[in-house]
Amino acid sequence: MHLTMVPGIGGSNDEHWQSRWQDGAPDVSRISPSSWDDPNLENWMDALDDAAGSRGGDTILVAHSLGCLASAEWLLRNPKGARGVLLVAPPDPAEPAFPDTAGSFRDPRLEPLPVPGLLVASENDPYCTLPGARLLAQAWGVPVIDAGALTHINDESGIGNWQQGRDLLTAFAAGLGVSIPLG
């Protein structure tokens, strides 16, 4: 099974768990939009088409932050584009901390996703409260996991390889009847 990494604004640096998971993994790709720092939704849709579209649905999207909103929109446009999606620390567009530069992401479609998913949220995320994450999960029709107080669940959270997340992804993939290519 292939994994498609869908980072948030700026991509994920070398210390971010997405990069650590991808490093040395045999069948993992990452989106490459040209608008990392000034995100444009359509550009990110094209990047998802490039990274995941050719997989014929044989991929799991692994999204972080703004990548969650992009992944949800892409799946609603491409209902058979992936086997499932792991949504980690999605930002809430209603929160004051939502990035001004991400205006094209501000009005996400809040409809049930066409594939199984799992949303992982932090109790103290500055971009999305836990109740806000639960509302997103409910709208997308996916369960939510409270990961504890991990701020934005990124490299600044001090989680390193984020073993809890790897374990959640492994269990999620097993529930889909597939194994994942992380070492």
Give residue 40's identity as a one-letter amino acid code. Answer: N
pTM above 0.85, yes or no: yes
Count of beta carbons in the 10 Å neighbourhood of residue 142: 21
Residue 119 lies in a domain: yes
Task: Report the SS3 class of residue 84.
Answer: strand
Residue 34 lies in a domain: yes
Which three-class secondary structure string do you get for 49-66?
Answer: HHHHHHHCCCEEEEEECH
| pLDDT of res. 26 | 86
Contact yes or no for 31/4 (Cβ under 8 A): yes
Containing structural domain, residue 120 = 2-175
Query: Which of 32, 138, 127, 131 has the alpha carbon at shortest distance from 89?
Result: 127
Which three-class secondary structure string do you get for 12-63?
Answer: CCCCCHHHHHHCCCCCEEECCCCCCCCCCHHHHHHHHHHHHHHHCCCEEEEE
Task: State how far the Cα of 3 lies from the Cα of 85, in Å rounded to an integer.
Answer: 10
| pLDDT of res. 181 | 80
Count of structural domains within the chain: 1
Could you list the pLDDT tens digit for every one of the 183 residues in the chain? 999 999 999 999 999 999 999 998 889 999 999 999 999 999 999 999 999 998 999 999 999 999 999 999 999 999 999 999 999 999 999 999 999 999 999 999 999 999 999 999 999 999 999 999 999 999 999 999 999 999 999 999 999 999 999 999 999 999 999 998 876
Task: State how far the Cα of 54 lies from the Cα of 12, in Å rounded to an integer.
Answer: 23
Residue 75 lies in a domain: yes
Residue 180 lies in a domain: no
CATH number, position 55: 3.40.50.1820
Residue 182 lies in a domain: no
| pLDDT of res. 24 | 80
Residue 141 lies in a domain: yes
Query: Which of 91, 86, 99 has the alpha carbon at shortest distance from 135?
Result: 91
Residue 183 lies in a domain: no
| pLDDT of res. 183 | 63
